[in-house]
């Protein structure tokens, strides 16, 4: 009997599309129909929520900080991709903070007529520092599952360590996010407020979790989690889940009525049977189904509804100890935030600025940073100041450049310390200037030192005005290729080559780029 019900409920998922963007509504309807405890709990909380809404419960404009625990569940034979890295986890937290605080790079794409509706939710997400027992945590659990297949949306084993998944931390005080392989190309689903506590949270397919890296386009900007956390905060789909009808909507007064979901990236304005005049439907809203790169904002009333959830059904999160600072005896310096670049930069070359925090109980100094733009050649910087226990400081890194248009800035602390998860941050941003304003850009490469000894670094400066991929080849004096590799060069990038093991002699280095081609000679001498 269970199998018959399961197949019946799964049918809409399989027939909906090859990729099922979100299974929240399918799972919700199934549980309402089959689980009396779920139905009772949900309806009671929804009744309370609606009464508060009718009474216009006061919603202040303060910032809500939500402790997050990410439960990574992976198959051992596919751990390389399913057991997502600490950096991938942090990249997803970064995306949530950008999207919920309107510092996402594509916020600039919101049509002018809807820009007055855009609102900063001031909801922030931080990986938990303290677990349910008051012990230190990095906010990530990892479980090698003994379950051989992918999880279905109806599989309660996701939430049970004894059955091959991972138990929820107390959902009154933590946002639980499970990351695992989901069957039938489901990207994610979430629990509405007031549902069963052991499964209260968000589940994301590892293929759509975080930004770039092991994610799959067009769901590679981390917006699946943005969408599902919206459900967790009591938002429903923007079209109201009424199967194409116009009588129902999402209960939000400042989102236009919409017949059904949208996919890919429509052109603005787009109209449909429910809203047949311009500006049409709000397909770029986070609660639609468009590609990650096309989702860009929540409306004022959506933010109000989410904050109402945080002041009613989910108010206990405000009193959580999940972000308490445990006493850390070991060195632990973290990257707290990125001030620049955020959203956009007017210049092709800019100076990054990050805030660091000393979480340990000893003074720290000589902190090394590694950073890059859009997978370009990374730069290293040694910060030689000192930072006291519990103190935060701003660090200005050396100038770096990027492409006109969309970019991703990534920075990490490379010192070994107690918690490596908080050593990484990323920020998406846009460069609006096609010129090299305030940058000193030459027109060729330079290499040094020249001569170079056969056991030291050879540095290549690519002083071009445009980012490009390039193949670096080194030829010996008799024409043999002794080194060849491809790199992504951004303006002002420096590439250091080591361990070349070249014999003494004269060599020719060739830079063969998508836009530029240069040749330089250099000499290798014995030490």
> Looking at the structure, do residues 225 and 345 belong to the same domain, yes or no?
no
CATH, residue 202: 3.40.390.10
* Contact criterion met (CB below 8 Å) for 230 and 192: no
Q: Are 483 and 462 in contact (CB under 8 A)?
A: no
| DSSP character string of 300-350 | HHHHHHHHHHHHTTTGGGGG-STT----B-S--EEEEEEEESSEEESSSEE
Catalytic residue among 82, 87, 228, 304: 228
pLDDT for 388 equals: 94
Q: DSSP 3-state assignment of 14?
A: helix
The domain of 398 spans 333-431
What tokens were used for 496?
């250091």
Structural domain includes residue 281 = no
pLDDT tens, position by position, for the chain (527 residues)? 233 333 223 333 333 347 889 999 999 999 999 989 889 888 887 777 776 665 554 566 789 999 999 999 999 999 999 999 999 999 999 999 999 999 999 999 999 999 999 999 999 999 999 999 988 999 999 999 999 999 999 999 999 999 999 999 999 999 999 999 999 999 999 999 988 889 999 999 999 999 998 899 999 999 999 999 999 999 999 998 877 778 888 889 999 999 999 999 999 999 999 999 999 999 999 999 999 999 999 999 999 999 989 988 899 998 899 998 888 889 999 999 999 999 988 778 888 999 999 999 899 999 999 999 998 889 999 999 999 999 999 999 988 888 889 999 999 999 989 999 999 999 999 998 766 544 554 567 889 999 998 777 899 988 777 788 899 999 888 888 899 999 999 887 889 998 888 888 889 898 888 777 888 889 898 87
pLDDT at 441: 47
Residues 351 and 227 reside in one and the same domain: no
Of 279, 108, 308, 85, give the one whose Cα is nearest residue 193. Answer: 308
Q: Are residues 62 and 201 in the same domain?
A: yes
Domain match, 414 and 451 both: no
> Does residue 396 sit in the same domain as residue 314?
no
- Residue 408 domain-assigned? yes
Instruction: Determine the pLDDT at residue 338.
Output: 95
Q: How many CA atoms lie within 13 A of 215 on its CB side?
A: 25
Q: How high is the pLDDT of residue 243?
A: 76
Distances (CA, A) of 426 to 104, 398, 467: 11, 17, 19
Contacts of 22 (CB under 8 A, 6+ apart): 187, 188, 189, 224, 227, 228, 231, 237, 289
Rounded Cα gap, residues 420 and 423, in angstroms: 5
Residues 149 and 192 in one domain: yes
Asked whether residue 171 falls in the same domain as residue 308, the answer is yes
| pLDDT score, position 513 | 84
What's the pLDDT at 197? Answer: 85
Q: Given this model, what pLDDT does residue 435 score?
A: 63
Residues 427 and 489 in one domain: no
Residue 283 lies in a domain: no
pLDDT tens digit string along 304-320?
999 989 988 899 998 89
Is 145 part of a structural domain of the chain? yes
**For tokens 């949270």, what's the residue?**
201
What is the layout of strands, in order, in the sheet containing 353-358? 333-340, 353-358, 392-396
pLDDT of residue 59: 61
Looking at the structure, do residues 94 and 55 belong to the same domain, yes or no? yes
Whether residue 48 is found in the same domain as residue 133: yes
| Paired sense of beta strands 64-75 and 140-145, if any | parallel
pTM for the predicted model, two decimal places: 0.84
Please state the domain count of the chain: 3
How far are the Cα atoms of 47, 129, 226, 311, 365 from residue 42, in angstroms, in the given order? 9, 30, 22, 17, 52
In a shared domain, residues 360 and 488: no
Q: Are residues 480 and 370 both part of a single domain?
A: no
In the three-class reduction of DSSP (H, G, I as helix; E, B as strand; rest coil), residue 482 is classed as strand
Q: How far apart are CA 436 and CA 401, in angstroms?
A: 9
Is 228 catalytic? The answer is yes
């Amino acid at each position: 009997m269970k199998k018959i019900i399961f197949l019946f409920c799964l049918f809409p998922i399989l027939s909906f599309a090859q990729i099922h963007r979100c299974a929240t509504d399918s799972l919700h309807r199934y549980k309402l129909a089959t689980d009396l405890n779920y139905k009772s709990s949900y309806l009671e909380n929804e009744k309370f929520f609606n009464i508060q809404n009718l009474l216009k419960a006061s919603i202040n404009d303060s910032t809500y900080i939500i402790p997050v625990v990410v439960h990574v569940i992976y198959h051992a034979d596919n751990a390389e991709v399913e057991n997502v890295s600490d950096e991938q986890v942090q990249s997803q937290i970064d995306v949530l903070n950008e999207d919920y605080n309107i510092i996402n790079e594509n916020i600039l794409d919101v049509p002018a007529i809807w820009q007055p509706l855009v609102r900063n939710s001031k909801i922030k997400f931080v990986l938990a520092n303290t677990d349910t027992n008051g012990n230190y945590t990095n906010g990530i659990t990892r479980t090698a599952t003994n379950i051989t297949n992918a999880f279905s949306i109806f599989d309660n084993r996701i939430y049970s360590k004894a059955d091959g998944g991972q138990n929820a931390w107390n959902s009154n005080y933590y946002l639980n996010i499970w990351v695992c392989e989901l069957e039938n190309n489901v990207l994610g689903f979430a629990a509405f407020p007031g549902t069963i506590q052991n499964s209260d949270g968000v589940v994301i397919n590892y293929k759509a979790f975080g930004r770039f890296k092991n994610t799959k386009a067009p769901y590679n900007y981390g917006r699946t989690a943005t969408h599902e956390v919206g459900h967790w905060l009591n938002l429903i789909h923007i079209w109201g889940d009424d199967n194409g009808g116009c009588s129902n909507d999402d209960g939000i007064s400042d989102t236009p009525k919409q017949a059904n979901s949208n996919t890919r990236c429509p052109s603005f304005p787009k109209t449909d049977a429910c809203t047949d005049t311009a500006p049409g439907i709000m397909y770029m809203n986070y609660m639609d189904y468009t590609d990650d790169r096309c989702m860009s904002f929540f409306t004022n009333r959506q933010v109000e509804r989410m904050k109402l959830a945080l002041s009613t059904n989910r108010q206990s999160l405000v009193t959580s100890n999940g972000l308490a600072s445990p006493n850390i005896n070991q060195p632990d310096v973290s990257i707290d935030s990125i001030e620049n670049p955020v959203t956009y930069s007017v210049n092709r070359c800019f100076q990054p600025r990050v805030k660091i925090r000393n979480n340990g109980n000893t003074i720290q100094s000589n902190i090394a940073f590694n950073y890059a733009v859009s997978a370009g050649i990374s730069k290293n910087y040694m910060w030689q100041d000192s930072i006291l226990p519990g103190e935060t400081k701003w660090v200005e890194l050396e100038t770096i450049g990027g492409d006109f248009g969309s970019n991703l800035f990534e920075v990490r602390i490379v010192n070994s310390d107690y918690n490596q998860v908080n050593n990484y941050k990323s920020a998406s941003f846009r460069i609006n200037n096609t010129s090299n304003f305030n940058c000193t850009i030459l027109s060729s490469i330079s290499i040094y030192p020249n001569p170079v000894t056969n056991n030291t670094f050879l540095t290549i400066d690519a002083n071009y005005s445009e980012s490009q991929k390039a193949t670096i080849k080194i030829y010996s004096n008799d024409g043999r290729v002794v080194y060849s590799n491809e790199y992504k060069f951004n303006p002002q990038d420096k590439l250091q080559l080591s361990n070349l093991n070249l014999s003494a002699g004269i060599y020719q280095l060739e830079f063969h780029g998508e836009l530029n081609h240069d040749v330089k000679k250099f000499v290798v001498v014995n030490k």
